[in-house]
Amino acid sequence: MTNPQAQHILGLLSAKYPDAACELTYNSDFQLLVAVILSAQCTDKRVNRVTKELFAHADTPEGILSLGQDALEKLIYTCGFYRQKAKSILSCAADILAHHAGRVPNTFNQLVKLRGVGRKTANVVLSVAFNKPRIAVDTHVFRVSRRLGLSNGTTPKSVEADLEKVFLPESLTQAHHVLIFHGRYCCKARNPDCTNCPVTAHCTAFQA
């Protein structure tokens, strides 16, 4: 796929989802980081319900640490994998205070050193919180990119590399959001709604 083709697909999807944006609710870089960690294998709607209560109790690294493991687990229980997520959030909070003066780091290498922060989480934070040209590959972006022929990658990292090649750097954040929206609301894993898809003419999966 050439860059012009990818940008054309992006334009069509952007027209379908003009309000595509991060659907997690947050008021600070740290809140976003916590919300993204919680969103692993959990819907954004569920995370927003959980963080509404969580952030009422604690919404800073200091506050999170003051909760402790047990209290934090109870507050995030419905997000799934709550024990591991609580450990990751507490570790992140401690590292941010100890090594980053209480502020969420704004580089990829620093972010992925935080416990529970992988490529996807780091790229979401860099893109959404710091307006850096990154594209996070979650399950929706992975599926839609492969169906559309934007990438033949077999891992999130390889798909990320392909998308960075076919999209203009300044379009990566927009591409991230519209690909997620398309996967979430139209190009679903099961029973994709091809009838209402604006890019079937460019979709290798549909053409096949």
The catalytic site residues sit at: 120, 138
Q: How far is CA 136 from CA 59, 123, 195, 206, in A?
A: 24, 5, 27, 24
If you write DSSP's letter for every residue of 1-26 in order, what string do you get? --HHHHHHHHHHHHHH-TT----S--
Q: CA gyration radius for the chain?
A: 18
H-type alpha helices, the chain: 3-16, 29-38, 44-57, 61-76, 82-99, 108-111, 119-124, 130, 139-148, 156-166, 172-185, 204-207
Rounded Cα distance between 145 and 198, Å, is: 15
